[in-house]
Amino acid sequence: MTDHHFSTDAESFTWRGGGETLVVQAWGADSVRVRAAHGAGVIDTDWALLPPEAGAHEKVTVAVDGPVATLTNGEVRVVATARDFFDGQAGYRRFACRLEFFAADGRLLFAEEDAGGALKLRARDYSAQDGGTYAATLALVADPAEKLYGMGQYQQDILDIKGCTFELAHRNSQVSVPFVLSSAGYGFLWHNPAIGRATFASNRTEWVAESTRQIDYWVTVGASPAQITAAFADATGHAPMMPEHGLGFWQCKLRYWNQEQLLEVAREHKRRGLPMDVIVADFFHWPHMGDYRFEEEFWPDPAAMVAELKDLGIELMVSVWPQVSHSSENYARMAREGWLALSNRGVDVQMAFEGPSQFVDVTNPAARDFLWETCRANYARHGIRLFWLDEAEPEFAFYDYGAYRYHLGQVREVGNIYPQLFARTFHDGLMADGEGAPVSLVRAAWAGSQRYGALVWSGDIHSSFASMARQITAGIHMGVAGIPWFTTDIGGFGGGRTDDPAFHELLVRWFQFATFLPVMRLHGDRGPAEPVRAADGSHRRDSGAANELWSFGEEVFAILSRYTHLRERLRDYTRSVMRAAHTYGQPVMRALFHEFPDDPAAWDVADQFLFGPDLLVAPVLAAGARSRPVYLPGGADWTDLHTGEVHHGGQRIEVDAPIEVIPVFARAGALPGLVGSL
């Protein structure tokens, strides 16, 4: 039917006016998708959103009453008010349609900005760009008192991001996942991979895409954070079930530079009775960037290496970079076939780390196929099933996003999709080869990356207590943004020295913290560096100093080894939490408010987190500290796993934390076997 520029069907309404098309459509239970385009119809993009499951829209009603259209889908109601009038001052006819979003109880959640009378504001604004795209802005008004969470990882220790502004772009240690959860009871996904900006001011929320074909967003309403995150997982995909080798301890350094060195570390772990699930061969195990194979002089028999590791119960992970050096054996073919990202101006060099290089264009399906088949031939055939997808932003030498283009379009228009498709390359290849639950360690992600087995780590962060504190909020926000698999370089990536007592303390505190992360992984570029040369005297990339548990002295080793064994004792619990992530879309690393939304104080605690539903973790975040305050959420009793003492929730207490102890509390008598283990 059509009425006042509205047309409807059973699950949507469409408004047209002044050259703009606006579509509001039920998209999953209690959720809607909104698309708007100027000068053209809306496009059926699938950047992150999956088609809704059959039967998800049983509670949908669509009605039009003159200039007002209403779509109700379970807990969310969208009201569109159209205006069609002659502007005497301007001398022409105006068309407008404003959206408001309500909860089922009638509460206004947020609305599009109104015109403001003589201000003539436009909630959906389009500025034409070259190539037929627009710089688009969506302006919304929301409750100034709401609290907001999510958006991925931005290396700040702010928990409530209301009042913050964010660049919608990936950088080394910055992961932009444009989903935000509100304490008012809704979740909002900006379904657009364009470079842009999001601002959550008191007077206005603005989403900006620098270059796009349409405005596209998704909204869900839920009674709790758990319901909202579950709906988001249903909409964009669930993480696979974490395989068993993802539950224990992972060993890594910059870098094991030959096969025997790596194997000897694994052997020593077993000699000392230390658990290890994964060991990593980091970058420059290859002759040239983009060769995607081991350099034979240093790695003479990969199959034998993998076989010995498997006998020890250890999986090998190998680093794969998207950079292709102009000296690579694969460069000529990849350049000829159009499988590399291109520069819009100047020479085709996007990075110059160890020589000029370009990035694989993973937005091109043919390039993805070539990348996987090359890695399959040179790695997977030896039994390697784990890949570390470094530089997945990708890390342009200069983050001048307008300078580059991909197969799918200009980077300014589609650039944020890159890490999702990088992870998909290996996920799809491994699945086709029979791997049931692929896991790839990735330095960036976007909405939907989780369904491709993306384990995101927080990038090349500095070795400092301040940096460590930022990883708590980073992990919480990543979980809210639908990425349940998160980890960090234990000890930080750069700035730590093996022979520095101050670094030893930081490493111990970080190691304790990481015992309760989704994945526990020791990594970093420790000083002093170890020079590496080939047999002919030619230079190879330096290796960092030793980074094994026993590399920092006996006192440190005693603490670190204890926590690797504690991680093993947590295996059954960790598996259950990973199952909840897979099945129900719940974050592994959670803010206190996720489990205790009725406790107002829980929405503001930025230096603690929950590992699953039952373990409250309070890392020590200051050098020399031997105690710290801990907030225990109301609604449960909490058992100190160090002392066994039970405390009522809803209070802040001071907790002793000698160097060998991290404050951890179990909820309501959970995990009694861990009491006294810290």
Cα separations in angstroms, 336 against 62, 292, 344, 360, 491: 52, 18, 17, 13, 42
Q: Per-residue b/e over 235-252, b at no fewer than 16 CB within 10 Å?
A: bbbbbbebbebbbbbbbb
Of these residues, 393, 435, 525, 595, which one is catalytic? 393
> What are the φ/ψ torsions at residue 281 (nearest 5 degrees)?
-95, 110
d(CA 159, CA 325): 40
Question: Residue 543's beta-bridge partner residues?
Answer: 530
d(Cα 64, Cα 12) in Å, to the nearest integer? 11
Residue 99, SS3 per DSSP: strand
Q: Would you call 82 helix, strand, or coil by DSSP?
A: strand
Which tokens in the block code for residue 283? 């970058």
b/e per residue 192-220 (b: at least 16 CB within 10 A): bbbbbebebeeeebbbbbbbbbbbbbbbb
Chain-centroid distance of CA 98 in Å reads 32
Rounded to the nearest angstrom, the gap between the alpha carbon of residue 197 and the centroid of all alpha carbons in its chain is 17
Which one is catalytic: 157, 167, 369, 460? 460
Counting Cα atoms < 13 Å in the Cβ hemisphere of 553 gives 13
Assigned token pair, 127: 């500025």
**E-assigned strand segments in 237-378:** 249-251, 278-281, 315-320, 323-325, 342-343, 357-359
**479 SS3 class:** helix
3-state secondary structure 195-263: CEEEEECCCCEEEEEEEECCEEEEEEECCCHHHHHHHHHHHHCCCCCCCHHHCCEEECCCCCCCHHHHH
* 189 phi/psi in degrees, rounded to 5: -110, 125
- Going from the C-alpha of 9 to that of each of 6, 40, 71, 101, 348, the distances in angstroms are 10, 20, 10, 20, 49
Cα–Cα distance, 194 to 32 (Å, whole number): 21
403: DSSP letter: G
**30 classed as catalytic:** no
The string of DSSP codes covering 445-474 is --TTGGGGTEEEE--S-BSSHHHHHHHHHH
Overall size of the chain counted in residues:
678
- Our CA angle for 3, 8, 10, nearest 5°, is 145
Q: Are 666 and 614 in contact (CB under 8 A)?
A: yes
Q: How far apart are CA 209 and CA 198, in angstroms?
A: 9
CA distance 138 to 127: 12
Set 361, 390, 595, 599: catalytic member = 390
3-state secondary structure of 550: helix
Give me the residue label for tokens 């694969």: 330
Q: What is the CA radius of gyration of the chain?
A: 26
Residue 393 known to be catalytic: yes
- Strand pairing class (175-182; 148-153): antiparallel
Residue 6: HSE in the Cβ half-sphere, 13 Å Cα cutoff: 25
Cα–Cα dist 471/461, whole Å: 9
Neighbours of 539 (CB within 10 A): 10
| CB hemisphere CA count around 355 (13 angstroms) | 14
Residues acting as catalytic residues? 390, 393, 460
